[in-house]
Amino acid sequence: MESKLRIAVQSKGRLYEETMELLSESGIKLTAVKRTLLVPARNFPIELLFLRDDDIPESVANGTADLGIVGLNEVLEKEKNVVVAKELGFSRCHLSLAIPQHIDYPGLKWFEGRKIATSYPVILSRFLEREGIDADIHVITGSVEIAPGIGLADGIFDIVSSGSTLVSNNLAEVEKVIDSQAVLIKAADRQLSAEKQATLDELMFRFEAVKAADGKKYILMNVPKEKLDEVLSILPGMKSPTVLPLANSDWCSVHSVLEEKRLWEIVGKLKAAGAEGILALDIERMIL
């Protein structure tokens, strides 16, 4: 019986959605995941263990799962015997202190003696101790942002993504404490078997191929040979663009990869230089 690599992942929320998207783009096909705790892949030797995000570090530390995909904030908060094996680069956010918008914030000393509501008391207490601030930490699970409005706290310490939740609760972000993102974690004191390590290496290769393609477009065009040098000088491509002959000996086909954010700027220059029939295509994976 093959040994599947078990990965604990978040059972709902933004990180869940982005993890499922990454696995799908990496060619991993899962059986139905709704209301199922353990789900194997149909075409790859992994299985996913769906847990609450704050249970993932413990599940990896005690060996229930081989690996976990979870927010760095949960790793730092739970302080389990795990290490970050790889930063995955998605579900980016940060943890910040916020206070009511009407307050004229003078600096960190404002929090001295104040009550701060949070679901992350460990991270917050370490920060306050480092900054020499003595505050009352009030632990809340759930909607931390409502605490100042109902008189439970003077300010909050919570995850900030877009900031819209703070604004809707009349709060202003005043101190960013840590940045967070999705990370792959493993037990600090346990090694994977050779078989599972090989599976992990292949999975990371696929993840990197998907990541490398993110924000890029594959572009191809027809170019008069007399204009080729000018067109090539415009293209920033990876290494150098590919130039192929066409049936018409006076023309050639040029292929390259561009950053999507610069696409329209560069396309305009290419057209002005004489390129025609320009196509820009999405890239699903880029094998480097």
The tens digit of pLDDT for each residue in 33-77 reads: 666 799 999 999 999 999 999 999 999 999 999 999 999 999 999
pTM of the model: 0.81
Closest residue by Cα to residue 97 from 117, 113, 75, 122: 117
Please give the pLDDT value at position 276. Answer: 94
Residue 202 one-letter amino acid: E
Predicted pLDDT at 2: 55
State which amino acid sits at residue 288.
Answer: L
- The number of helices, as runs of H, and strands, as runs of E, in the chain is 8, 15
Return d(Cα 164, Cα 161) in angstroms, integer. Answer: 8
Mark the ranges of the chain whose per-residue pLDDT is less than 50. 1
**The predicted structure's pLDDT at residue 132:** 97
What pLDDT is attached to residue 65?
97
**Averaged confidence pLDDT in the chain:** 93
Please, what is the angle between helix 194-213 and helix 14-25, to 10°? 100
128-167 pLDDT, tens digit each: 999 999 999 999 988 899 999 999 999 999 999 888 999 9
